[in-house]
Structure 1
Amino acid sequence: MAVFTPVTLNDLNSWIDQFPLGKALAIKGIASGIENSNFFITTETGEYVLTIFENLSFEQLPFYLKLMRHLADHGVLVPAPVANADGELVVALHGKPASIVSKLEGSSQMEPQASHCAEVGRMLARMHLAGKDFPLHQKNLRALDWWHATTPKVLPFISDELQHLLRAEVHFQDAFDSTPVYRALPRGPIHADLFRNNVMFVGERLTGFFDFYFAGCDTWIFDVAVTVNDWCINITTGELDIVRVLAMLNAYHEVRPFSKEEAIAWQPMLRAAALRFWLSRLYDYYQPRDAEMLTPHDPAHFERILRLRESLPVPPLPENL
């Protein structure tokens, strides 16, 4: 993540003694993404990840951290949050909410094959089912309401053609959101940001999903669409790789079969997933925040993906094969 709030080893050692982790031995900022300040830390008991939350509040954070704990307790591979001596998962650091979670084994697979996509699809379905009885509720904070609030903030910076594309897609999603099909979609807690860099592998073995700080309650098929739009594409053109798409969808379907409503919603949700990340990248590109290690992403990538999902047919969900 971009480092908005620097933390030194001395800062860390004056704070970490409230956790059962021993003395901090090393800290290193993580320079990818643009939302929170993340650090790898090494202590006398092992390796962990420290996150300082730049946008989320103390009141919002229990949802994410308790969700991770709930999923871990149900056999989903996710980082385990560490509580302090008072049992708190969120503690102030430099006046901002912060947490520590276990570090996952392995590394991100940035050139996934069909076997990797199948592993991700299978674990994503397990995650959705495991979250069905999670007692807390928080809506997806980057869904339709956020699209409406953010669109006017980026329109002055983009061409007339792009303004038309953005307005038209938001209008389409508004209309689809009001349909009986959309209202019937299965839903619950979702990751909402399950890109290649948020999953760890050792070889072809998936070792965990992480970075749950965009999670919220939304339709499961939207979560699948977000994942397919990153894992199953030609990264240069945005075109779907059919082999990888089918590997992910079939593996997911074996664990949690898709519904008939999800089959109808599939292409609209691929469009919605592309819109969500195009809009967020536009906002981060044109309205950047100060950061020590800021790496904004190119908005044109998801513009291309949105145009492709609008204009070309997509592989159907397994129940239609």
Structure 2
Amino acid sequence: MAVFTEVDFDAAAALIAGLGIGELRELHSVPAGIENTNYFADTTGGRFVLTLFERLARDELPFYLRLMEHLAERGMPVPRPRPDRDGNLVLELHGKPAAVVDRLPGAHHLAPDAADCASLGAMLARMHLAGADFPLQQANLRGLDWCTATAPSVLPFLDPEQRDLLQHELAYQHGVAASAAYAALPRGAIHADLFRDNVLFDDGRLSGIFDFYFAGTDTYGFDIAVAINDWCVDATSGRLLAERADALVGAYESVRPLASAERRLLPALLRAGALRFWVSRLWDLHLPRDAALLKAHDPTHFERVLRARIDEPYHPPASAAA
């Protein structure tokens, strides 16, 4: 959980007054996330989320906010950003870039079953198709280049076996990234952080996907892999739960069939997804930022996930193909 910038009611009310979404009535800090400062803001016109961006630069934000706007306009259940009177989606509060977006209905399914995974897979495929014509591009800021650049900062905190794992996996992923099969992977705008706590269900229906602030232009397969690594694993061992994974991939392919290169490289992409979150959690744990509320996630979980993906590669069943 994190609150890096304390927001007072009057300042938030003044910002919201210029958005045409009603008068601010209630403001509560959100005890979730480790990147940005978030507040729930209830107005006379609806329920919203106020975000102050603590790491992202102002010139990076249009990609995320315009992507959310683009997907919302195409019927995807994502938060719609609210512009000011001049049409700007990037706002400012307490000297930091900010945004106000719709608050989505529903609750998390933190212990998902195969049906939940299928709902996610189908929605993820629809989201990829809906974003196929999104005109903006921005590299995945937590991709392989970031992992490679960040590794030297976290290596001193690892034991010899962990250091060996990290260095060997980086070498493996660079080899994959240089391959012809990787170059053939379909790409576009992806969420890149589609964990269970970024998805909502309402009355048994998937009602919302939010927190697009790690989104980027990358392979669709990486997006699928990140989701599988969170939705379809045993929490204790990191072992993949095939029934859930098969349900997720099968539902995805019912909407958008995987290309042959995606099916072939999915085991490597699952390793890439585990590597990305292992490195970022190591970074957050050992090199923390000051915050009023901050609790880093346990990096050993994704170390276990990475080892499990190496030891037992997952190949989607042929029956999943449409």
Same fold (TM over 0.5): yes
Q: 1:318: how far off?
A: 4.2
Match of residue 263 from structure 2: 263
Matching residue's letter, 1:85: R
Pairing 1:7-18 to 2, within 5 Å after superposition: 7-18=7-18
Pairing 1:166-177 to 2, within 5 Å after superposition: 166-177=166-177
1:318 and 1:9 map into 2 onto residues whose CA distance is 55
Pairing 1:215-294 to 2, within 5 Å after superposition: 215-294=215-294
Q: In 2, are the aligned partners of 1:153 and 1:283 still within 8 Å (CA)?
A: yes
Match of residue 5 from structure 1: 5
Q: 1:203: how far off?
A: 3.2
What per-residue deviation string (whole Å, max 9, x for no partner) do you get for residues 157-205 of structure 1? 1111111100000000001100000000011000000000000101320
User: SS state of the match for residue 99, structure 1?
Assistant: strand
2:215 and 2:106 map into 1 onto residues whose CA distance is 23
Q: 1:239: how far off?
A: 1.2
Q: In 2, are the aligned partners of 1:190 and 1:220 still within 8 Å (CA)?
A: yes
Q: In 1, are the aligned partners of 2:246 and 2:320 still within 8 Å (CA)?
A: no
Q: In 1, are the aligned partners of 2:118 and 2:251 still within 8 Å (CA)?
A: yes
What per-residue deviation string (whole Å, max 9, x for no partner) do you get for residues 70-118 of structure 1? 1111221101111111111111100100000001001111011111111
- Structure 2 residues without counterparts, runs of 5 or longer: none
1:223 and 1:235 map into 2 onto residues whose CA distance is 20
Match of residue 130 from structure 1: 130
1:166 and 1:204 map into 2 onto residues whose CA distance is 39
Q: In 2, are the aligned partners of 1:3 and 1:294 still within 8 Å (CA)?
A: yes
Relative to structure 1, the CA distance from residue 224 to residue 317 in structure 2 (aligned partners, 3 Å threshold; closer, same or farther) is farther
User: SS state of the match for residue 78, structure 2?
Assistant: coil
Match of residue 140 from structure 1: 140
Pairing 1:1-321 to 2, within 5 Å after superposition: 1-318=1-318
1:198 and 1:320 map into 2 onto residues whose CA distance is 25
Tell me the percent identity.
50
What per-residue deviation string (whole Å, max 9, x for no partner) do you get for residues 52-76 of structure 1? 0001111110100100111111221
Q: CA RMSD in A?
A: 1.2
Q: 1:11: how far off?
A: 2.0
1:201 and 1:255 map into 2 onto residues whose CA distance is 20
2:142 and 2:72 map into 1 onto residues whose CA distance is 24
Relative to structure 1, the CA distance from residue 15 to residue 320 in structure 2 (aligned partners, 3 Å threshold; closer, same or farther) is closer
Matching residue's letter, 1:86: D
- Structure 1 residues without counterparts, runs of 5 or longer: none
User: SS state of the match for residue 206, structure 1?
Assistant: strand
Q: In 2, are the aligned partners of 1:82 and 1:99 still within 8 Å (CA)?
A: yes
User: SS state of the match for residue 169, structure 1?
Assistant: helix
User: SS state of the match for residue 316, structure 1?
Assistant: coil
2:205 and 2:5 map into 1 onto residues whose CA distance is 34
Relative to structure 1, the CA distance from residue 262 to residue 292 in structure 2 (aligned partners, 3 Å threshold; closer, same or farther) is same
When the two structures are superposed, what TM-score results if normalisation uses the length of structure 1?
0.98
Q: 1:137: how far off?
A: 0.4
What per-residue deviation string (whole Å, max 9, x for no partner) do you get for residues 250-275 of structure 1? 00001000111111101000000000
User: SS state of the match for residue 293, structure 2?
Assistant: coil
2:85 and 2:313 map into 1 onto residues whose CA distance is 54
Q: In 1, are the aligned partners of 2:226 and 2:270 still within 8 Å (CA)?
A: yes
Q: 1:50: how far off?
A: 0.6
1:8 and 1:255 map into 2 onto residues whose CA distance is 45
Q: 1:313: how far off?
A: 3.1
